[in-house]
Amino acid sequence: FIFNVVILKGTMIKKSQQKKRTSPCNYKERLFVLDTQDLKYSERRPGKKPMMKGCIELSRIKCVEIVCTDIPIPCIYKYPFQVFHGNHYLYIFAPDNDCRQRWVRALKEETKNNDLVAKYHPNFWMDGKWRCCQQSEKLAAGCYVYDPVGYEGAFMVRNSRQAGVYTVSVFTKAPGSNGEKNPRVKHYLIRQTEGGEGTFYLAEKYLFSTIPELIHYHQHNAAGNCGFPQTTVLFTTLPFFHTTDQWEVDPEELILGQEIGSGQFGLVREGRWRETKVAVKMIREECMSDDDFKEEAKVMMRLSHCKLVQLYGVCTQRSPMCLVFEFMENGCLSDYLKERKGHLTQNLMWGMCLDVSEGMAYLESSNFIHRDLAARNCLVSKNDEVKVSDFGMTRFVLDDQYTSSQCSKFPVKWSAPEVIKFCKFSSKSDVWSFGVLMWEVYNEGRLPYENRTNAEVVESLSAGLRLLKPRLAPDTIYQLMEWCWKEKPDDRPTFALLLHELASLTHEPR
C-alpha cells in the first residue's frame, strides 16, 4: 500500500473558483490539507467529521504564487496566494504572511516537476479582466515570469510595451525601499543612447554594445545602484538582437540544413542559429517584393505569444532574404493529424483546438486578422503543443474589418461567405476558418469538401449547407463549429468567447 503523507494542515479562506459564468463570488473558511498526492479542503462541522468540498491532484497544478494586489481584501484573512490547476484559479487567503509563505513553499516543492506555466498573473482576475495586465481573457498567457522554486536573481529579457524596447525582469528576495520583504519581480528598462548606435545601458555611466554584455556586467557589479542582483542566475533562453536593426540576423551566424517544407513564397529549411535549432523561411525573389517581405517581418515583430510561432529575426544581408523562426519538431498540423490517424485521443484533439483558439484570441485582442487560418498553417511542437503560423496574409486593422483592394487569392474551402462574395475580412471571418480547422482536427486531417470544386462549395454555402459532423466530434464540439459557421458575421462568437467555451469543456468532452 502507498500511504499519503500529510505535509501541511490548517484553516484558511477560499474564494469560489467561479468555473461557470453564472457562479456566485463568495469567501468561505475551509480546512486545508496538503499531502503528497493532493490538496484537499473541507467544511468544518461542529461535532461532526469535516465534509470534503474539493480535492486537487498535485499533478494538475501548473503554478503556485503569492498574489500582489492594491485592492482591499474582502475577508478577515489578508494574505492571498493562488493555485492554477487545469484551467482554473483557486485563490486562498492565509491569516498571516508566514503562513502564506509556508504553504506556497510547500506547494512549489511538491509541484516543481510538473508541466508548469512560463508566466503567471501576479494580481487578481476581477470584473472580467486581469488587474495586472488588463487582459480580458481569463486564460490569457501570464504577464510575469514564473519562478517555480524561488531562485534569487533568476531573470529574463523580454519585449516591453514600447515597440523596440526591452525590459529585464529579475526575481529578488531583497527588502524593498518600503520595507517589503516578500519575494517579488523587479523590472529594469534597458535604455539606448540617442542616435540609435546600439549602445545599451541601465545606468548611464556604463554603456555596452550588446544586451548580453550589459547583463553579464551587472550580474557581477553594483554599478549605478540599479539594484541588479549579484548572484549566479538562471538564463531564460530568448534571442538577443544587437545590431542597429535589432531584428537583423548576421548571415555568418546562420547555418542552413535540409529542406523541411515549402509555401507560396518560398522554401523552409532547417537551420541553426547561435546553437539554437531554427526554421528558416527562404523568400523566392520572384514571389515576394522587398516591401512585401518587410511587411511580413513587421507583422511578426509586433506579435509575441506562447501560441504563435515566434520570429527570432530577419536576414536581409543575403540572397534570398529569409525569416528565422522557432523550430517546431512535429511539423504542420495537417500532416501531423494524417500521420497519427487512428491514434488521436479526445484529449489531444480538444487541446489542439484550445491552443489555436488561444493564439487567435491574442491576435483578435491585438486587432490582427490572420486571413489564412487552416491546419496547414499551424505547427506542432515536440510536446504536441499547436501554434499558429504563416502570417503572410495577416493585416493589422483598427475597425476589425479589412477589404482587400486586389481581392488576392484566398482558400475558398476555409473562407466565410463575405470573403467569397465581397473580399471582406474580419476577425469573424477568421472565426469561420477556425470552425473549418476544428473540423479538420476531428476528421484526422481530411480536407474539407475534398470531392467538390470551389464552385460547388460556393453553391453549397449559398444554399445554407455546412460541413457534416465528424465521427470523432462530440456534440458540444460540433455545436461550436456550427456557431463559427453562422451566415452573418455578427452572429458568430469572438475568439475570446470560443476560448472560454472550449476551456469550460472537460478534457474529454461528450
Give me the active site residues, please.
Answer: 372
Other Cβ atoms closer than 10 A to 122: 21
Structural domains of the chain, with CATH: 6-130 (2.30.29.30), 155-225 (3.30.505.10), 251-326 (3.30.200.20), 333-504 (1.10.510.10)
Higher pLDDT, 76 or 262: 76
Q: Which DSSP string do the residues of 282-337 spell out, in sequence order?
A: EPPTTTS-HHHHHHHHHHHHH---TTBPPEEEEE-SSSS-EEEEE--TT-BHHHHH
Other Cβ atoms closer than 10 A to 233: 18
- Read off the pLDDT of residues 471-498 as tens digits, 9 standing for 90 and up: 999 999 999 999 999 999 999 999 999 9
Residue 179 has pLDDT above 90, yes or no: no
How far is residue 306 from each of residues 103, 257, 309, 443, measured CA to CA in Å?
29, 26, 8, 26
pLDDT for 272: 92
Instruction: Name the percent of the chain lying above pLDDT 70.
Output: 74
- Read off the pLDDT of residues 28-51 as tens digits, 9 standing for 90 and up: 999 999 998 999 999 988 888 889
Tell me whether residue 281 is annotated as binding. Answer: yes
Residue 399 has pLDDT above 50, yes or no: no
Higher pLDDT, 214 or 135: 135
- Count Cα neighbours of 124 within 13 Å in the Cβ-side half-sphere: 17
The three three-digit cell numbers of residue 401, written as one number = 474589418
Give the pLDDT mean for 15-36: 80
**Pair 357, 349: CB distance under 8 Å:** no
pLDDT for 388: 95
**Pair 467, 439: CB distance under 8 Å:** yes
| Winning range, highest mean pLDDT, from 233-237, 292-296, 317-321 | 317-321
Q: What is the pTM of this model?
A: 0.55
Instruction: Give φ, ψ of 69 to 5 degrees.
Output: -145, 155
- Read off the pLDDT of residues 240-276 as tens digits, 9 standing for 90 and up: 333 334 567 888 888 999 998 876 667 899 999 877 8
